[in-house]
Structure 1
Amino acid sequence: MPNSDLLARSLAAVWHPCTQMKRHEALPLIPIARGDGVWLIDADGRRYLDAVSSWWVNLFGHGEPRIKAAIKAQLDTLEHVMLAGFTHEPVVRLSERLGQLSGLGHAFYGSDGASAVEIALKMAAHYWRNLGHPAKHRFVYLEGSYHGETAGALAVTDVAVFREAYAPLIGQHFVTPSPDARHAQPGESADEVAERAAARLEHLLARHHGEIAALIIEPLIQGAAGMAMYSPRYLQLARAACDRHQVLMIADEIAVGFGRSGEMFACQGAGVQPDLICLSKGITGGFLPLACVLCSDTVYTAFYHDDVARGFLHSHSYTGNPLACAAANAVLDIFEADDVIASNRAKAERWDALFAPLQAHPNVVHFRRTGMVWAFDVIDAGAGFAQRYFAAALAQDLLVRPIGNTVYFMPPYVLNDDEAALLADGALQALDAALATGDTDHDLSLA
């Protein structure tokens, strides 16, 4: 089928996410036919290096054979069964393994990151209700935070374009300063920025803890805030403040879990144990939708009662889907078999040298890395930089999708040194091209 036919059909029938559809009049959709490792291949055979892991979900490359084999094997036994009143081996095995990895003993499943956040928020507020503190039903979130676009998740997301559009639908909670290291004052270290932000959090909790159920936080990296990276010191101080003021801590590890931060879970890099962890994205290696909330035994026990109303009132038809759980178990198998965390550390150190010319570019500031995430900000970029860079990167056979004036790489872990060199060189050429093309207001995406 000609590409033009497929593109026309997509525009006529598909409402694409996080997109002002009219702007596809200026920039056509790219019809992807297949994937292979770190590469996406379009209908004409052109290859694009997937430097953002297809919105941060792909860990081990497109078409990873071990994950495919696990899904195929599961198809031969059980494709799905409701998890209310029933159970199955893949979900039990996955829950046991996640518990061992995280130190949190019970797993509740959903379909995507936003649903995990909804689950965690409801669980936190209901926890306090079950303990006789129904007034504790509000939340604290960081400036610039992003936790999803469903109503509850949006209420703890600090992205103006989303909040303003749906303001009548969302609850009002507390926002506290971000420990983003880019906020450093002259002579101030990242630790000192973290301590300054933590002092503001402490003050907020001291005043309002009687109505606050939980702090929700993206550990170490705030994605939609332009890959804002901060000192682990903040997580340590935030954990202590939550403990002092009887506030739960929710770690939104949807983007930064499963090795992205350099550890299996980002909180582990700070030596911090949250009360609840939200997981999704990389949990199935980018193959199938799945989300999970892990909670402490303390939280779980507060719901364990004869009264149905004290049970956790949440459900999802595809909760704990066996196919998705089989994929997730295969992902954990790969982490063990390939010693992924140690391998990633070695790769990241080698690739820092490859990316050094980007860091030296006169328009680049705040070049930074945490784990397997690299980011830099572009100054004097002009309006519409994100879209110009996106188009310029495509011309270099790269999928790189900036957030405002922040360019970032979050590639699949199977990227090799040669491919990393291609990414570094292509990203530098795309930067010069985007800066040379001048201002435009043709931003494609909403974020």
Structure 2
Amino acid sequence: MTSPVWHPFTQHGLGEPIPLVSHAECAALFTADGGRIVDAISSWWVTTHGHGHPRIMAAIAEQATKLDQIIFAGWTHEPAETLARALVTLMPPPLAHVFFSDSGSTSVEVALKMALGFWANGAGPRHRILVMEHSYHGDTIGAMSVGARGVFNQPYAPLLFDVGTVPFPEAGREQATLDALEAHCRQMPAAFIVEPLILGAGGMRTYSPATLARMHAICRRHDVLFIADEVMTAWGRTGTLLACEQAGIVPDILCLSKGLTGGSLPLAVTLATRPIFEAHRSGDRARMFFHSSSYTANPIACAAANANLAIWRDEPVLERIADLGQRQQARLDRIARHASVRGARRLGTIAAFEIDGGTASYLSAVAPRLMGFCRDRGILLRPLGNTVYVMPPYCIDDADLDAIYGAVEAFLA
């Protein structure tokens, strides 16, 4: 019987197999037919400590017996209050206010609306948003608008608003990016949104902390709000809790999701500085922040996030991340010697490289070939065009790392 499910980023017309996963543990998924699959991409970058982490699962089970859901407009609950206070303590000042939403895309939508509202309620409206070439911030309308134009969003172009774009800071050509940002900032835009240090869906392209710091300084100099989309880069993926730490900067607005709950449940937050909050606080109800969703700050998801933060407080997470990074590097160095591999790079626990002979397009034939090859060998890998990346949960062992890189090497051979 044909399934009625319409899967994301899936061309059902190709008839590719869609495995049925029954359960998961640590870095492995188990299929209904008894197969074991190594999760080489943390189930689309969300699973940090590993699938089914006992502390997170226990927190979910306990909260489910107390309060499942409540409207968050004008009401509150203990898991959200605890989480907000913990986040403000954990994140760098002056990020003092926490707005809850459901996903990375919605956290970006919230950030954009906060930025526009700040100017509309303060020094006068500013409407233009600046973005970086090749960026990706999600699939809702605002998030698509601030992402790269291409195959992801071409059918929806009439819905997207215009933005100012600066070139990606390629190594050795960073000054062109800085000069373009400076020129755009002279036109008094509302905000500049970036993925710090590494672009995710844009091909795992990396740039230096020094460049990130200089871009932040330009925005500061011109009074342009700086939005850091750390939906993928936070929670240790780049080697530090936040990627922005490595540049020594604090954004005006910070977007977090994915690893916020350890990857167990959907939840997102957008953190903002006090001036942005105060621009919306008034005796005039027309100046409130007009954004919500039905499941804003779901109590069970907040409980999972609180358990994740407890893991970060109580366990040596950064040491595990550093160890995983080094173990990945040894395997990446070996695979980088292959004649078809170029651009091998690693940032924290993210390893990536390109395979020659394939186009850089997301629709490159390399991606489905490698994905199917690895699936048949018990590996979940999902290349971005001809860009191969490995981003496993932090608990992965050497045997599973060897299986991942061994499958890729077999494909290259």
Q: Give the match for residue 168 of structure 2.
A: 178
Q: Note if 1:293 corresponds to 2:270.
A: yes
| Pairwise CA distance, 1:94 | 0.8
Q: Give the match for residue 19 of structure 1.
A: 10
Greater helix content: 1
1:400–1:409 CA contact under 8 A, matched in 2: yes
Q: Note if 1:125 corresponds to 2:113.
A: no
Between the aligned partners of 1:42 and 1:78, the Cα distance in structure 2 is: 32
Q: Give the match for residue 64 of structure 2.
A: 75
Q: Percent identity?
A: 42
Flag structure 2 segments of 5+ consecutive residues without an equivalent. none
Between the aligned partners of 2:377 and 2:155, the Cα distance in structure 1 is: 35
Between the aligned partners of 1:315 and 1:388, the Cα distance in structure 2 is: 41
Q: 1:312 is aligned with what amino acid?
A: F
1:195–1:237 CA contact under 8 A, matched in 2: no
| Pairwise CA distance, 1:273 | 0.4
Q: Give the match for residue 181 of structure 2.
A: 201
1:281–1:290 CA contact under 8 A, matched in 2: yes
Q: 1:114 is aligned with what amino acid?
A: S
2:197–2:209 CA contact under 8 A, matched in 1: yes
1:113–1:281 CA contact under 8 A, matched in 2: yes
2:410 to 405, 408, 429: 429
| Pairwise CA distance, 1:354 | 2.4
Aligned CA RMSD, in angstroms, stands at 1.3
Flag structure 1 segments of 5+ consecutive residues without an equivalent. 433-447
Q: Note if 1:396 corresponds to 2:377.
A: yes
Q: Give the match for residue 82 of structure 2.
A: 93
Q: 2:348 is aligned with what amino acid?
A: G
| Pairwise CA distance, 1:159 | 3.9
2:251 to 249, 269, 274: 274
**Equivalent residue runs for 1:35-434 within 5 Å:** 35-103=24-92, 104-134=95-125, 136-179=126-169, 183-184=170-171, 188=172, 193-206=173-186, 208-209=187-188, 212-381=189-358, 383-432=364-413
Count residues in correspondence: 407
Q: 1:422 is aligned with what amino acid?
A: A
2:332–2:344 CA contact under 8 A, matched in 1: no
- CA offsets 1:252-276 (integer angstroms, 9 cap, x no match): 0011111111111111111110000
Between the aligned partners of 1:97 and 1:372, the Cα distance in structure 2 is: 25
Q: 1:373 is aligned with what amino acid?
A: I
Between the aligned partners of 2:38 and 2:191, the Cα distance in structure 1 is: 39
| Pairwise CA distance, 1:195 | 3.5
Q: 1:18 is aligned with what amino acid?
A: F
| Pairwise CA distance, 1:324 | 0.3
2:116–2:127 CA contact under 8 A, matched in 1: yes
| Pairwise CA distance, 1:137 | 1.4
| Pairwise CA distance, 1:79 | 1.0
Between the aligned partners of 2:324 and 2:203, the Cα distance in structure 1 is: 23
| Pairwise CA distance, 1:18 | 1.5
- CA offsets 1:137-187 (integer angstroms, 9 cap, x no match): 1101111000111111111010401332101111111111011xxx34xxx
| Pairwise CA distance, 1:44 | 0.9
- CA offsets 1:30-76 (integer angstroms, 9 cap, x no match): 11111111111111111110101111111122211111100001112
Once the two structures are overlaid, the 10-residue window that deviates more, 403-412 or 331-340, is 331-340
1:90–1:326 CA contact under 8 A, matched in 2: yes
Q: 1:332 is aligned with what amino acid?
A: L
Normalised TM-score (structure 2): 0.96
Q: 2:64 is aligned with what amino acid?
A: L
Between the aligned partners of 1:317 and 1:351, the Cα distance in structure 2 is: 41
| Pairwise CA distance, 1:224 | 1.0
- CA offsets 1:284-317 (integer angstroms, 9 cap, x no match): 1121111110001121111121111211111111
